[in-house]
Structure 1
Amino acid sequence: MRRSRTGRRAGAALALTALTVPLTVAFSTTASATAASSCYAVRGPYQKQAEKFLGLRVDGRQSASDCRAIRAFQTSHGITPNIGYAGPVTWGVMRVVAQQQAAGHQPNRAHKCPTDRGRIACVDLTRQISWVQDGSKLVYGPVPVRTGRNGYETRTGAKRIYWRHLHHVSTLYHVAMPYSQFFDGGQAFHSISGSVWSAPGSHGCVNMRGKDAKKYWSLLKNGDDVYVYGRKPGT
């Protein structure tokens, strides 16, 4: 049976579509992969600070090795876009990490968290760290945390854990809050799936890495003291 011109045109159009779609997808995938692996060649406003923090040669110039090092830091700390640009967000995280590293094994060196209450979980908003101590003895930590953003600040002062829920889900934000230990209204210690260094912060809870939240769950119980002090940068 002889095909009409209309039928031939339709067949040709279908064939062209079948070829075009895979090529488009392949091109997009390749372009995305290229963009994801790219490194920004322009120096950022905090280039020298980033170089010093990372132990690089401090000359304020963006070299390929500088970019790779900055990008590796961004990737490991959940900073996006992770293109090796030393901008304010990256430098802000570096400053917090530097303070966390400086805390070492003596986070309560300034004696701001009470040492006369037995087992207590301390939260320093300024340095974005938390630890558990028994009297003056460090039990666990310090560990990095992410506290409340501007307008949703984690409230300071003396608290106590009053409710624990291993598989809690927020009724306000509909997100999972594993290992939740509530100490002040809706504010609690709990783990998150993302980075504890990512901006801008929580809605008041003390966000933790999974392993740290799990350890806190094993160390604390209802009635244990919590003490929150300081002020998170940017709030």
Structure 2
Amino acid sequence: MKRSTVVHRAVLAVAAVTLAAGCVPEAAGSGGARTTPPSAPTTGSAAPAPTPSSATPGTDDKPSSPAPTTGTGTPEPTARILMDDGDESAQVRELQARLRQFGSFDRAPTGFYGKMTGAAVKAFQRKRELPTTGSVDEVTWRKLLAATREPTADELRPATTNTLDTPDPRCMTGRVMCISKESRTLAWMVDGKVVSSFDVRFGSENTPTREGEFKVEWKARDWTSTLYHTPMPYAMFFSRGQAVHYSSDFAARGYNGASHGCVNVRDKGKLAVLFDQVKVGDKVVVHW
């Protein structure tokens, strides 16, 4: 074979390898995510065996903490975590109602597992001489079930006023509607002191109430939603259409319903007084 032919074929082979290792185009509809480019071909060695994953496919259980070991080095069994900080579910609501029966949770159940619920769980664990993790594992849950009875409908969703949350630091100066998603309360505060408080509810998962620091942009004593055509009396708007306002649905159904993103208040008389006190420009803080 001629030397020129050999060189020509070698050039073609190098070009083919270069194209195979080039960038892969974005997948359609991937939102800009790129697929993983293929590895350059290797010769003379087998491909490395994949490392097996430690996760169990088909499960969504919360991971337990690493298992402690005995003196012989054998891992001891650990209890699976059932509920933890950030969870929101009917089971969390039942947990809170049972903790309230036990005397370690002093507010109405909300269904959200936050710092106050974690503190109540720790208090229960201490009294039962369990590890004070603040998370509900299988052992903690069994102990709580044994120490309490099944909550009634009124215990799960009581009509009593919720206990106020510890104010967010942003609420400690000036005139502020301080709104806690965890305790589901609104505290009207002036220079760090609570003037009045309200039970409130928020938007659903699909239409959440925005969190952060805002200002009252405008007010309307009688307003009807232009999107949902429902009355919004004593509306105080603070974030692109979201407002604090009275809700007859909240007054009738309580926490069985949700707003479209607004902060619903169920005590119309008290809210009417607050409406007259709040000024455009006053601060609004929505926090967990």
Q: Tell me which interval the TM-score lies in, with the shorter structure as reference length.
A: 0.5 to 0.7
Name the residue aligned to 1:204.
Answer: 261
Structure 1 residues 101-116: aligned runs within 5 Å: 101=163, 103=164, 107-108=165-166, 111-116=168-173
- Judged with a 3 Å threshold, the aligned counterparts in structure 2 of structure 1 residues 119 and 59 are, in CA distance, closer, same or farther, namely closer
> Which one of 98, 105, 123 corresponds to residue 179 of structure 2?
123
- Secondary structure, counterpart of 2:244 in structure 1: strand
User: Which of 193, 217, 227 matches 1:137?
Assistant: 193
The AA in structure 2 aligned to 1:227 is V
Unmatched segments (≥5 aa) in structure 2 = 1-93, 104-146
Percentage identity across paired residues of the two chains: 27
Is 1:179 aligned to residue 237 of structure 2?
no
Checking the alignment, whether the CA contact within 8 Å between 1:189 and 1:213 is kept in structure 2 is no
Q: What is the alpha-carbon distance in structure 1 between the residues aligned to residue 199 and residue 256 of structure 2?
A: 14
Shift of 1:51: 9.1
- Separation (CA, whole Å) in 1 of partners of 2:285 and 2:182: 13
Which residue identity lines up with residue 188 of structure 1 in the other structure? A
Q: Is the 8 A contact 2:235 2:246 kept in 1?
A: yes
1:195 equivalenced with 2:253 (yes/no): no
Instruction: Provide closer, same or farther for how the CA distance between residues 168 and 60 of structure 1 changes in structure 2, counting only shifts above 3 A.
Output: same
- 2:222–2:234 CA contact under 8 A, matched in 1: yes
Q: Cα–Cα, structure 1 residues 192 and 120, in superposed 2: closer, same or farther, change >3 Å? A: same
Structure 1 unaligned runs (5+)? 1-45, 74-89, 231-235
Aligned length, in residue pairs: 149
For 1:145 and 1:53, the matched residues in 2 are separated by 25
Aligned to 2:275: 217
Per the alignment, in what secondary structure is the counterpart of residue 176 of structure 2?
Answer: strand
Instruction: Return the letter of the residue paired with 2:250.
Output: S
Matched residues in 2 for 1:53 and 1:173: separation?
42
The question of whether the paired residues in 2 share the 8 Å contact of 1:146 and 1:206 is answered with yes
1:177 and 1:166 mapped to 2: Cα distance? 8
Conservation of the 8 A alpha-carbon contact between 2:170 and 2:285: yes
Shift of 1:50: 9.3
Letter in 2 for 1:52: Q
Q: Give the aligned partner of residue 11 of structure 2.
A: none
1:152 Cα deviation after fit: 0.9
1:165 aligned to 2:220?
Answer: yes
TM-score (norm 2): 0.45
Where relative contact order (Cα < 8 A, 6+ residues apart) is larger, the structure is 1
Cα distance between partner residues in 2 of 1:211 and 1:127? 21
Query: For the residues of structure 2 that align with 1:229 and 1:204, how far apart are their CA atoms?
Result: 14
- Which one has a larger percent helix, Structure 1 or Structure 2? 1
Cα distance between partner residues in 2 of 1:224 and 1:59: 44
C-alpha contact 2:171 2:189 (8 A) present in aligned 1 = no
Shift of 1:125: 0.9
